[in-house]
Amino acid sequence: MSLDKTSPIQATSLPGDFHAGDTVPSDAYAPGTVRHGSLTQPDLYEAKDERPFSRTVIELGELAAGWNLARIEELVRTENRRAVFGGFAWDSPLLRATGTIGVSIMELWRKDSKRAERIAERDYLVPPEFCSMIKTMIGRWDLLNASSPIRRILAFSSSCEPIGMVLEHARNLGYEIHTLEGATAFKTDERPEATVKFLANEIHKAGAWLQDGKPLDEERLGEEIRRKNAALRKVARILDLRLKRPFDIGSLPTMWLLGGTSGFFGDYERFDNILDRLIAELESAAKTPETRPYLPLILAGAPPGGLSFFKLLEEHNAVIVGLVLLGTALYREDVPPAESLAHYLFDSQLRGELGEATGASATLRRRGIEALIEKTGAKGLVSSAVTACPYASLLQQIERNYFRNKNFPLVALEHSVHNEPITEEQTMKIKAFLEQLTGEI
Ligand code: SF4
């Protein structure tokens, strides 16, 4: 039986994933696009910048689009490369130092996410109302179990409890899992040496696991930290230049730039070259500062509605000048490399960066937001959270109370991990927020 690709179908005799009577929106299974009402959209790393500032931005988009799970699986199969799920941001120097490709957990919901969610609900009995991230993780690992050559998962145990449950399901499926024991910096003014040493030791253990017992080479780790720092400095320079010319580099390429600092989309030299060219182009453009009014905003959390959210803001001359999830803070180079990674993680937790999976502090994310507001002159905050995440709902409540008490405008939005365009209701909410702020610009 062939699937109708244009409209929802009643599946009555489908084998495998579907049960009789299931209503299956078949477009949700097409790679890279989803149907939501009458709209489809590519995901953020496959989308094209519709008004690229230069050829360099187009090249950046091509580099980002070419780096995905399918490409990594191909490298594992054809070049015998080592790859693990996990290892996306703070630990990326560790993965690079061990010659391992880290597959961001976000890859799990870039494709087949609706199908994965159905499997989680049907086979793993995850309640439908539970967070889509959890359902997609276990459903997608289940789907990939038969086909993917990537069989290992590097986990961090400070993530939420349901993720621990998902990892156990993945272990039962046959994936090999290594967990970095969780360490959390609960207090800003305390950094016990023993805690740093503990996490540094965990990093060494993970390094040996990644290399099948071979010890972690700290010298190589140091090189990778310096490399990442160099990229972070360049991206920070681009973000500063963007404040002078906010319309040149849109939200989409800004996401690519920040996302690229972890794994360089698999090609450090090319990514580095793109950064150099972009800086030169923007420095030249910045000689003529932008005079058109714009509305500077901070985005805390992931963009709800993905590409459609960015487009909506851009239609209203609103520019995201600061993102809290991914920052440009540098790794320390004055301490041994494994300890540098440990310090970086603790500092990120206290800034509320990197998200809940790395033990980020809900109560302290507002400090990161305030620092960004001060630096960028932002006039409003978009606080975004995954629907039904207990952690995120607490975090949003804290932000609502805190910023409203300070009379700083905030709009709180929820989203799923599915790549779905922004809903009508959210569109109205954001438009009302922007109208409320327009008098400020
Ligand atoms: S969204 Fe919340 S509940 Fe869901 S996996 Fe992330 S932290 Fe856990």
pLDDT in tens, 198-219: 999 999 999 999 999 999 999 9
Query: Can you read off the two tokens belonging to residue 202?
Result: 């965990």
Closest C-alpha among 181, 178, 219, 221 to residue 198: 181
CA-closest residue to ligand 1 atom 8: 160
Among 166, 356, 395, say which to mutate for ligand 1: greatest number of ligand atoms within 8 Å of CB: 356
CA-closest residue to ligand 1 atom 2: 389
Burial of residue 403 (CB within 10 Å: 0-12, 13-18, 19+) is buried
Confidence (pLDDT) at 26: 44
Long-range contacts, stretch 372-376, CB < 8 angstroms, 24+ apart = 372/298, 372/321, 372/322, 372/324, 373/298, 373/322, 373/408, 375/322, 376/243, 376/296, 376/298, 376/321, 376/322
Q: With a 6 A CB cut-off, is 163 part of the ligand 1 pocket?
A: yes
Confidence (pLDDT) at 190: 63
DSSP-assigned letters across all residues of 255-277: HHHHHHHHHGGG-HHHHHHHHHH
Q: With a 6 A CB cut-off, is 395 part of the ligand 1 pocket?
A: no
Confidence (pLDDT) at 393: 83
Confidence (pLDDT) at 424: 87
Lowest mean per-residue pLDDT among 61-65, 282-286, 396-400: 396-400
Q: With a 6 A CB cut-off, is 385 part of the ligand 1 pocket?
A: no
- CA 381, 231, 291 angle in degrees (round to 5)? 50
Confidence (pLDDT) at 18: 42
pLDDT (mean) for 106-126: 93
Q: With a 6 A CB cut-off, is 138 part of the ligand 1 pocket?
A: no
pLDDT (mean) for 391-420: 90
Among 140, 391, 415, say which to mutate for ligand 1: greatest number of ligand atoms within 8 Å of CB: 391
Q: With a 6 A CB cut-off, is 417 part of the ligand 1 pocket?
A: no
Confidence (pLDDT) at 4: 38
Q: With a 6 A CB cut-off, is 386 part of the ligand 1 pocket?
A: yes
Confidence of residue 423 (pLDDT cuts 50, 70, 90): confident
Tens of pLDDT along 8-25? 333 333 334 444 444 444
User: What spacing in Å lies between the alpha carbon of 134 and ligand 1's midpoint?
Assistant: 6
Confidence (pLDDT) at 215: 97
User: What spacing in Å lies between the alpha carbon of 153 and ligand 1's midpoint?
Assistant: 18
- Distance, CA of 411 to CA of 389 (rounded, Å): 18
- Answer yes or no: is pLDDT of 271 > 90: yes
- Distance, CA of 381 to CA of 295 (rounded, Å): 11
- Distance, CA of 135 to CA of 72 (rounded, Å): 23
User: What spacing in Å lies between the alpha carbon of 414 and ligand 1's midpoint?
Assistant: 13
Confidence (pLDDT) at 87: 72
CB 331 within 8 A of CB 400: no
161-173 and 132-144 helices cross at what angle (nearest 10)?
A: 10
- Distance, CA of 164 to CA of 159 (rounded, Å): 8
Confidence (pLDDT) at 73: 97
Query: Can you read off the two tokens belonging to residue 37?
Result: 């009402």
Q: With a 6 A CB cut-off, is 392 part of the ligand 1 pocket?
A: yes
Q: With a 6 A CB cut-off, is 134 part of the ligand 1 pocket?
A: yes
Confidence (pLDDT) at 341: 94
- Answer yes or no: is pLDDT of 404 > 50: yes
- Answer yes or no: is pLDDT of 37 > 70: no
Confidence (pLDDT) at 79: 97
User: Comparing 26 with 339, which gets the higher pLDDT?
Assistant: 339
> Looking at ligand 1, which atom is closest to the CA of residue 356?
7
- Per cent of the chain over pLDDT 70 is 86
Confidence (pLDDT) at 290: 86
Confidence (pLDDT) at 394: 83
Confidence (pLDDT) at 189: 62
